[in-house]
Chains A and B, each alone.
Chain A
Amino acid sequence: MVMTWPMVKAEGVHKRFGRLEVLKGITLELQAGEVMCLLGPSGSGKSTFLRCINHLEKINAGRLSVDGELVGYRQVGEKLHELREGEVARKRAEIGMVFQHFNLFGHMTALENVTCAPIRVKKEPRERARARASELLGRVGLADKLEAYPAQLSGGQQQRVAIARALAMEPKLMLFDEPTSALDPELVGDVLEAMRQLARAGMTMLVVTHEMGFAREAADTVVFMDEGVVVEAGRPADVLASPRQERTRAFLSKVL
């Protein structure tokens, strides 16, 4: 039997932007080594929830923990203490994130993008960081693009550099925020292939996506969200093929 434990645990997570309540009590659990896909219409709070997990957004109520530790706070008795910026940064370094618009550092080459954080955050020796970075870039099929600047790469190539950049920190959890939404259709395949590889290698992944094909074959769990709540969750075969909720059915009939 393989030991498993919750990598992400959310209990009644609420998030407000001003008076707009984006998350209205999200409760879910992602087991270590599993892949979870978050589905749902835009504006349903999927991306916000993802950003809460590495504390890019602060939650207003509920409990959110990664690998058994609260995100952004330390609990002493009954009271919550905010973590210092340095402590938050250390925890973020253990969580990789891939963005819809890649967000590669425009003034750095592909190689520099990947070595940046290992050198500056982990204080890894320059040479070793470079060697690991070229190996990672090779694994996502970009061995010949090490010296290219982001502007010289296609969207699909940029997104694969972004994946390599996140992996270079050797994260225990990877967050994907609509990684293929900004790509031309013919470039989506390469990025999804890189993600499938990662899933097969046993990475714990939380993926916000509209790629139903990917969700069906790569996910262990799919979660359907709408208007800030989890509507339905389960194995992809169940949720995608025979949804129990009307809202899920309505959404799936539009995207499938």
Chain B
Amino acid sequence: MADPGAADRLAPAGRPDEIRAIPVRRPGRWVAAALILLLAASLIHSVATNKQLEWHVVGQFLFDHRILSGVFMTLELTVSAMAMGVILGVVLAVMRLSPNPLVSGTSWLYIWFFRATPVLVQLLFWYNIAAIYPSISLGIPFVGVEFVHGSANTVVTTYVAALLGLGLNEGAYMAEIVRAGIISVGEGQTDAALSLGLSRLQIMRTIVLPQAMRVIIPPTGNETISMLKTSSLASVITLTELLLASENIYAVNFKPIQLLIVASIWYAAMTSVLYVGQYYLERYYARGATRELALTPLQRIRSGLFSLERHEWS
């Protein structure tokens, strides 16, 4: 016969008491916190009370129209160079994975060349392109058909030189990022899409790339943030972006530190905006990959507020 008490033993009567244990003491944390606070306080004190820093000069130039137009130039250059980099990167990555050895070899060579030379050298190269190619034309080679023709100095302006230097270089780095993303999508996805009769191009566009985005976006955000700051190299070839705008001012008023602080504040502000953009972009491409999306900080605050309100009413 079965043990009549067995069921009772498996399901204990009543709910056991909640655990209320005394937490482990962590004196190390308090010591570390005190040290960090002390260091921070002394740093803030020295920065705030240092008369040489002349914070009012920073304030005076923070929204100066020359600085603002430098900010816009930096943004414009960053966005266009990144756009060029992303488009080139996708094309190069798809070429690199092509079964045709000539196509994949060309892509390999391009990536090697641009990663093997410093971007500052490339910028200077494009800036001086007129020295080796005084005139530039767009047409069909060897048959004498030309669509566009001009002297190199009018076609390759300072801005175009900066765009080519940064964008072509970025393409090589983006190609590696996109390639890693494409490889990360399992072969089963391609098999399934092929078996449904989709073409190679359709599969790349609608099945593989959208899923590769999850892997591509974080490093691309990183590249964009990096580009924002690398664009300051264009100051060397006399493009008046944020850094050169600041330099031009301190060349006259001899306040380099204050103007470099102004530039840094703007770079940091723009970078912070990119952080937010990257967060939402990553979230968008995470759909389907996780069972449930985490709440955004805004949603969390809002739901927190609502739950507080409900609490008060009840």
Interface residues of A, Cβ cutoff 8 Å to B: 54, 56, 85-86, 89-90, 92-97, 99, 101, 103-109, 116-117, 120-121, 149-152, 162, 165-166, 169, 175
Contact = CB atoms under 8 A, between A and B. Distances in A.
5 smallest beta-carbon distances between A and B, as pairs: A93-B197, A103-B192, A117-B196, A103-B188, A97-B195
26 contacts: A54-B194, A56-B191, A86-B199, A89-B198, A89-B199, A93-B196, A93-B197, A96-B195, A97-B192, A97-B195, A105-B207, A106-B189, A106-B289, A107-B287, A108-B288, A116-B198, A116-B206, A117-B196, A117-B197, A117-B198, A120-B206, A121-B196, A121-B197, A150-B288, A151-B290, A152-B291
Contacts of B210: 107
Contact of B189 (A54, A93, A105, A165): A105
B310 interface: no
B29 interface: no
The majority secondary structure among interface residues of chain B is helix
Nearest to A122: B197
Nearest to A109: B288
Contacts of A95: 195
B290 to A, nearest CB: 7
Contact of A106 (B195, B196, B211): B211
Interface of B: 186, 188-189, 191-200, 202, 206-207, 210-211, 285, 287-291
Contacts of B289: 106-107, 151
Contact of B188 (A96, A99, A107, A151): A99
Contacts of B193: 105
Contacts of A109: 288
A166 B196 contact: yes
B288 A151 contact: yes
Contact of B197 (A89, A104, A149): A89
B192 A56 contact: no
